Every structure is written in C-alpha cells, then in structure tokens.
Amino acid sequence: MTTFERFPTDRDGPRDECGVFGVYAPGHDVSRLAYFALYALQHRGQESAGIATCEGGHITTLRDAGLVSQVFDEEKLRALEGDMAIGHVRYSTTGGGSWENAQPVWRDDGREVALAHNGNLTNAVELWGELKERGIAFRGTSDSEIIAALLSSHGGKLIEDAVEEVMPRLEGAYSTVVMTKHAIVAFRDPHGIRPLSLGRLGERFVVASESCAFDIIGAELMREVHPGELVSLTERGLETRQVVKGVRRSTCVFEHIYFSRPDSRMDGVVLQQARGRMGEILWREAPVDADLVISVPDSGNPAAAGFARASGLPRDDGLIKNRYVARTFIQPGQELRKHGLRLKFNPLPEIVAGQRIVVVDDSIVRGNTTRQIVGMLRKAGAREVHMRISAPPIRNPCHYGVDMSTREEMIAHGRTVEEIADELDADSLAYLSMEGVYEAIGSGPEDHCDACFSGHYPLGDPEEANGKFALEEIAVVPAS
Ligand code: SF4
C-alpha cells in the first residue's frame, strides 16, 4: 500500500503517547473546556481526538481521526453539553491507529462508562483472555477498552470501589480518566510512569496529563496525582483514596527531556528550565571548538539555549521549521524527491556557511532526520557539524506507552558513539550522560524509569507478546 503511506513521518524521534483530560464543573461550558485543554495537549497525540460529556445521566461521546481542530467545530461542541467531560488525544501505542481505537472508549457492561487512558498495560493479553471467557466482547483492540470493560462490568455500587478492586489487577502504565453518570474518577498506576495532574477551576476540579492544559483554560495546578492514587470529582467536590501504597516510583524520565511541553511543570519544575540545564551540563560534559550553536527546532531549543549560555558561544536559528506541517499523506513524487524535499526544516546558508556549527537536539532514535539535517547543513556551506544530544543514546524499546521503534531500527543499537557519528556523517557527536539528566531535573534513578536508555525496566522486561499489536494479533486469531 503506497498511496496512503506517510511521507515523511512527522518526527523521526519517539512518538508521543496520549493526552487525557477530565472536568467536573456544572454550570461551565465543559465541552469547550475539554476542547481547549486537548488543544494544549495536542503534542501528545495527533492521530485522533475525542470528547465525552454527561448531561442528565446521558453520556455522549464524539471521537474521530485527526487533530482536535479538525475533529470538532462549533456545532459539534454545542451538541456536547453537560456537567462534566473527559477528553483524549491519541497517538496509537497499543492497538493500531484505526477509528475503533480512538478514545474516549464507551462501554456499558452493567455500568455506563467513558474512559480515556494514557499508557500501556503489560498484562493486556491475559486480562483480555479472562474477559473473553466471561463472555465480554470487544469492539477495538486497545488495552484501554480492557480497563473500561473491567470497570463497566464490575458489580460494585460506586465507581470508586470498582477502581479500587481493578487497579491492583492492572500491570504497566496507566494514567486514566473515567466518567460515569455521577462522577469523574482519575487514577494513576502505582509506579506513576505517565504523568497526571490535578487542578482547580474556581470551586471545581480538573485533571490532565500536563499542567499546560490547565493554563489554557484558566485552571490552577494543585499537584500531581500520586502514583497509585484515585481522585474523584463529584458534586461533593474532590475526594481521594490511596489505593496502592509502597511501590517504587518510576516516573518516565523522557517526559522531562522531550515528551511534555516545556511550559508544563513536573515535580515542581517548569520543563523549559530543566531542559536548559541539560544543555548547560551537556557543554560541561562535551565541550567543542565551534563558532555557532543552533537547535533542531522546536524541541531542541531549550537545551540549545543552555548550551550557548554555558559555552559563551553565539546562538542563532540556522534551521527554520515549517510550523504548519503536521503530517502529509501526499507522496512527494520523483521530481521533489530528487530535490531532497525540505518539508520540515530549511537551513539558512547566510547563517551557517563557513561556520563550525554545534547542532543541539533532544534525542535520536532511528537517525534518519539527524542524517538529513547534517547533510542539509553541509550543503548550505557549514564548515563543520557537531551534534550534541541532551539525552543518552536510546537503545531499548519502551513498554510503557511510547512508540520507539524496535531495537534493530535504533541507530544506537550495537554501535559506539563514534560509529553513530560516522553513520550521521557528523564531525563529532556527544550525548548527555544519564547522571547529567538527573542532575538537571534535580532527582535520581530511584524515582524514575529510564529503561529506553539503560535497559533497566522498573516492572521487569515484559514479554514481546504484550507488545504494541499483541491484542490485534490475538483478535484476528480465532480462539481454539
Ligand atoms: S522506557 Fe523510556 S519512554 Fe518508556 S517510560 Fe521508560 S523512560 Fe519513558
């Protein structure tokens, strides 16, 4: 299938996972609040978007493939009235990118629920088999539907009681928001792998993957939802339960490096500043004789600023990004292919020609984009191109909700840093150390997952069988 093959992918790096949102606010325009919150979380997933609202005991769900601004218009938002809402933006992790896997998931196996989930269950296959045995049928192939089915079919009177019993059965990463006819309930896995924050909107409460979703709707960040905690937003206000205690915290360190927006706050730190410190430490660890620092926009900007600050080197924009390109499904054709399509970045010869350039980026996964950038800069006249990366080499896949490619596709797999530099045709290449990352965020490995860099999976290395498309494979094979 070539006609709809994507060219090029919007990013050669790790793909963001999903973003979730929930608000309980009678008297407010909850669908509009959800719309703008999702708009702020768009970087976490661009394949589909959805909002579910509840009014007078009736849940309405609207979801579709595309960006938030493509899926919703005034008319659709007006149809989504209610006292509470949840929302989701998705980049497919478990389950393919098909429409059935768009969220919020809606189910009624005894209790009507709409659910939005960010993460990846590592025991999805086992739970799916168990539910199938109980006669529960599935529409899609996502692990989020499994959580929805477990909660929907649970006999407990309160959704909070259902969550309390279901949570210990779930393994892996799950920052989840569920809506019933009476409540919004949000819960985070006991390791706190994916982010989830709690905010206040006047007298009411909101939850979201990142605090940037609160800023846009005028809500205030209160705190993060604790790992293993359940928060319930109802007419009574805010109630919380610590469902699972005493488990090692393993927050995703990559959220600090790249995934989350730089204006979001995590562990009390605004990420723009933490990333700036990563750039400063990168200079300390890997200085280089050069004339000019440039970034790979936009995600490399904060670290490039830090690198320039610490080195005293001038910084300029040597690569201009087309900000209006998300994804194109149109093939470039032979003529443009020959020309070397500069769809996403355009180098400025007037800035880079004759210069020894340091290019700062946040990560390299497969290396295709980096190789292209080095080539473009050389063609634009750069005398030397030195790559500096504000994260360690990525050598392992993520099992907790981020699409990172397979080990074999990763440029750092089985290569030394010198060999990677050769592959990229860079004059030099250096990565920030893991210690440098932790110094920048003011924390340590004891509280984080850094498995894609270190290979140490905090929950153990899950079987390949529970990989990205495990449920799809099972779903098409008839049970024997
Ligand atoms: S493996 Fe990497 S991306 Fe996945 S949760 Fe751990 S640190 Fe984050």
The residue nearest atom 8 of ligand 1, judged by CA position, is 252
Q: What is the pLDDT of residues 167-209, one digit of tens each?
A: 999 999 999 999 999 999 999 999 999 999 999 999 999 999 9
Tell me the CA–centroid distance for residue 158 and ligand 1, in Å. Answer: 33
Which pLDDT score is estimated for 469? 47
Which atom of ligand 1 lies nearest, measured to the CA of 252?
Answer: 8
Nearest to 253 by CA among 443, 79, 103, 411: 443
Atom 5, ligand 1: which residue's CA is nearest?
Answer: 252
259 C-beta closer than 6 A to ligand 1: no
DSSP-derived pairing of the beta strands 356-361 and 292-295: parallel
Amino acid at 111: R
Q: Spell out the domains of the chain, with CATH numbers in brackets.
A: 18-250 (3.60.20.10), 270-445 (3.40.50.2020)
* Residue whose C-alpha is closest to residue 124's, from 167, 166, 171, 90: 171
Question: Would you call 122 helix, strand, or coil by DSSP?
Answer: coil
Ligand 1 atom 7: residue of nearest CA: 450
The confidence score (pLDDT) of residue 96 equals: 57
Report whether residue 307 contacts ligand 1, using a CB cutoff of 6 Å.
Answer: no
- Please confirm, yes or no, whether 449 is among the known catalytic residues: no
Neighbours of 66 (CB within 10 A): 14
CA of 44 to the centre of ligand 1 (A): 14
Buried residues in 148-158 as b, exposed as e (16+ CB within 10 A) = bbbbbbbeeee
Task: Name 356's bridge partners.
Answer: 384
Query: What is the Cβ-side half-sphere exposure of residue 458, based on CA atoms within 13 angstroms?
Result: 22
Evaluate whether 230 touches 163 at the Cβ level (below 8 Å): yes
Residues contacting residue 389 through CB under 8 Å, at least 6 positions apart: 282, 360, 361, 362, 363, 364, 429, 430, 431, 432
Give the residues across from 221 on adjacent strands: 199
Q: How far is the CA of 403 from the centre of ligand 1 (A)?
A: 10
Among 423, 427, 321, 415, which residue's Cα sits nearest to residue 367?
423
Backbone angles phi, psi at 30, to 5 degrees: -65, -30
Enumerate residue ranges in the chain where pLDDT < 70: 1-16, 92-98, 324-343, 462-480
Measure CA 305 to chain center: 23
CA of 304 to the centre of ligand 1 (A): 23
DSSP 461: -
Amino acid occupying residue 214:
F
Mutate which of 93, 450, 454 for ligand 1 pocket (most atoms within 8 A of beta carbon): 450
CA of 121 relative to ligand 1 center, distance in Å: 14
* 400 Cβ closer than 6 Å to some ligand 1 atom: yes
Count Cα neighbours of 212 within 13 Å in the Cβ-side half-sphere.
18
